[in-house]
A and B are shown apart, each in its own frame.
Chain A
Amino acid sequence: MKTLRIGGGAGYSGDRIEPAVELAEHGEIDYLIFECLAERTIALAQQAKMKDPALGYDPLLEARMLAVLKTCADKGIRIVTNMGAANPLAAAAKIREIAVSLGLRKLKVAAVVGDDVLAQLQAGDYRDDTGEPVAELGARLLSANAYLGAQPLVDALAAGADVVVTGRVADPALVLAPLIHTFGWAMDDWERLGQGTLAGHLLECAGQVSGGYFADPGCKDVAGLARLGFPIAVVGEDGSIEITKVAGSGGSITTATCTEQLLYEIHDPAAYLTPDVVADFSQVTMTQVGPDRVAVSGATGHPPSGMLKVSVGYIDSYVGEGQISYAGSGALARARLAQEIVAERLEIIGAVLTEVRSELIGVNAIHGPGLAAQSAEPYEVRLRVAGRADSMREAVRVGNEVETLYTCGPAGGGGVTKASREVVAIRSTLLDAVQVQPAIHFEEI
């Protein structure tokens, strides 16, 4: 039976590059996938593109391509990635430029566009998941990108692309497309599309299935985590899946690591929504078939709704923040005094904040006072105050009132940090798939 070996080269935009190089050099893979778009990444990339039309793609695109492109070209490994972010065309041009600089003689890069539906949303009557009309965001609206399915990526591969770079596509489509292209799976073969989507879901966070984000010393030990290897999915023409990694790399692949990743960011396991298929993972089974080798089967699927999810990026608010540390005897009491002082001073100066969060790191910051029923007093405590405002001018006042604790607060506070930032947030809406028209552009040498 024909099989395809697909490597998961990145789980997010800032992920480590060395494991991807290891996959390209030693993974005997046919495809290398880089999944680099979190919910808000495109909105931030759109802001970069507004400042410079040649930007708006993944900040690590250049570093990643410099690291793997030559090896991939030499070995015939094709690359599929959503590192195009808000500007797949500029990303493709950049990849071509890098290929030339590496001395490559021949390379075909496909940019998949059409996910950007900002103009449609601005013109039409759409409501987001909070129930508000999208158009009412006005000038605060930054980006709107529909989640494309696998088809345009399949078309790009059929046209001979060595590298396919996209903006927003459903994460599993990066893996599903090479499978459909290679095996000629029908777009209504729900069982295979379900298994292919499962393979994509297991690879999309890269190291999170091969022992990353898993270790808990004494309960769940992972060997060689510092040299964590990224995963390879070996997928058969019949949809069978085996998850493995490069022999000798760090990390581990067990039914436990695979089950954690199976349920990662899943709601109803029987209805994982993608543009290509409503995948059903509810009957999935896993078998350890060897060291760092897990076979995964039992996924199926149903026809999709025909509506595409759209991520809407907008400027939500401004957040100011400050932190200060107290240590030694009485640290907790001094931190609590500082906390009260900042709250009172923000009132005295009339800072206009719509939301304030004040907490003690090391005591109750992560889960609040309920779960943090601590017994002993900690040696050190860090006060954190964060506030939301409608302008940067108001937001900065939060950090300032923490900083002035140096001279105007309790004894012995140190290590102040303060920051304020514009908050780009995400809402979502739905768009009929027929209103979204993907297109492909090529760059060649």
Chain B
Amino acid sequence: MKLRDIAHSRAGDKGDISNLSLIAYRLDDYPLLEKQVTAERVRAHFEGVVHGEVQRYLLPQLGAMNFVMHAALGGGVTRSLALDAHGKSLSSALLDMEIE
């Protein structure tokens, strides 16, 4: 299944850093997210888009994780040539990731 089936996400931007929340609809599904959606996996998912490191922060009491992706916004929101300079739609791309 896709992440979209059990979780939702919102993207935020600061400079050349994009952050993506990943939030389980049901707390019961959170352990699955924590186990499978690692920082390494997210970095691989965004190969060619994210050029720096990816950090993951856990908020299990909210069923949520936060991914901080460096060098992810074409040099920075204010100078990027990208159509979606803020990387707002990266959240939707994350939710397309397949999990088991």
Contacts and interface: CB of A to CB of B under 8 A. Distances in A.
Interface of A: 39-40, 129, 213-214, 216, 219-220, 255-256, 259-270, 282-286, 316-317, 319, 355-357, 359, 361, 365-371, 384, 386-388, 423-426, 428
B25 A256 contact: yes
B77 interface: yes
B93 A263 contact: no
B79 interface: yes
Interface string B1-28: 0001000111011110101010101000
A253 B81 CA distance: 35
Nearest to B63: A259
Interface of B: 4, 8-10, 12-15, 17, 19, 21, 23, 25, 45-49, 55, 57, 59, 61-64, 66, 68, 76-79, 81-84, 89-90, 93, 96
A319 B8 contact: no
Q: Taking each of B12, B57, B64, B79, which has the highest tally of chain A beta carbons within 10 Å of its own beta carbon?
A: B79
Given A286-B62, A317-B79, A428-B15, A263 B10 contact: yes
Contacts, number: 115
A39 B77 contact: yes
Contacts of A263: 10, 12, 19, 21, 23, 59, 64, 66
A426 B62 contact: no
Contacts of A424: 78
Contacts of B59: 263, 269, 282, 284
B62 A285 contact: yes
B13 A265 contact: yes
B71 to A, nearest CB: 12
A-B complex: 6 closest residue pairs judged by Cβ atoms: A265-B12, A263-B21, A425-B78, A425-B79, A357-B81, A260-B10
B45 to A, nearest CB: 8
Contacts of B89: 366-367
B19 A265 contact: yes
B100 to A, nearest CB: 20
A267 B25 contact: no
A261 B23 CA distance: 11
Contacts of A216: 8
Given A264-B10, A365-B83, A366-B83, A259 B21 contact: yes
Given A285-B61, A367-B93, A370-B48, A267 B78 contact: no
A380 B46 CA distance: 26
Contacts of B78: 39-40, 316, 423-426
Nearest to A355: B81
B93 A260 contact: no
Contacts of B9: 260
Contacts of A361: 83
B46 to A, nearest CB: 8
